[in-house]
């Protein structure tokens, strides 16, 4: 078991907090030697293993409280929480702390911890509508049109996370190999 960081954007953090997100997919970058398994998937070491604890990196900021301690605020639950009065009962303009990118979040600021329950390889377009919902997409799977909409919404979400220059290699249409990481939210250990 290892503890490792994992990045999520604000919308996906909200989905985790809401209990809707229990899976994530991460691109498997091509290997230099072109090694592959019998099923044609790229031979790579998985980024996470069953039993690993992932601490979520999310957009955040840090406030110094008057009584001498720091407080972390998270964009997913306090979208305007980075603005506060300069002083209590002050008429001065509010003070705004800049949001810090998730990549710079220290482990001590993490509030979400995930236990990895499964890791497997899959082609991106093999995702089912049920798996799209487990990725945090809102849908009623009992309604066939909404199930199809879940896949379309996931395709849009996926492409929004890929740099435009990388879309030909890692976008939905490229159908890259991905790690499918399933997890459950746990309390901090």
Domain ranges of the chain: 3-58+109-186, 60-100
**Cβ atoms of 137 and 149 closer than 8 Å:** no
Instruction: Give the per-residue pLDDT at 149.
Output: 86
Fold classification of 3-58+109-186 (topology level): 2.30.130
Specify the pTM: 0.84
| 185 strand-pairing partners | 114
Helix (H) or strand (E) holding 170: helix 167-170
Instruction: Give the per-residue pLDDT at 118.
Output: 97
- Dist CA 91 CA 169 (whole Å): 53
pLDDT (tens digit, 9 = 90+) per residue, 45-91? Answer: 889 999 999 999 999 988 877 677 778 889 999 877 777 655 555 56
């Amino acid at each position: 078991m290892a503890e490792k960081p994992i990045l999520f954007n604000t919308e996906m953090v909200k989905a985790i907090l809401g209990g809707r997100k229990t899976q994530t997919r991460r691109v498997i970058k091509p290997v230099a030697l072109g090694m592959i398994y019998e099923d044609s998937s790229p031979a790579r070491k998985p980024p996470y293993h069953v039993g690993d604890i992932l601490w979520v990196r999310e957009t955040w900021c840090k406030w110094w409280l008057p009584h001498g301690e720091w407080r972390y605020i998270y964009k997913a639950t306090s979208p305007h929480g980075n603005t506060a009065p300069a002083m209590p009962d002050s008429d001065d303009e509010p003070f705004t702390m800049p949001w810090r990118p998730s990549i710079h979040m220290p482990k001590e600021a993490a509030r979400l911890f995930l236990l990895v329950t499964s890791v497997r390889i899959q082609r991106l377009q093999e995702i089912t509508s049920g798996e799209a919902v487990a990725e945090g997409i809102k849908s009623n799977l009992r309604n066939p049109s909404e199930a199809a909409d879940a896949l379309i919404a996931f395709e849009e979400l996926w492409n929004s996370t890929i740099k435009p220059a990388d879309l030909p290699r890692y976008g939905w249409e490229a159908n890259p190999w991905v790690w499918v990481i399933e997890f459950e939210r746990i309390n901090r250990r």
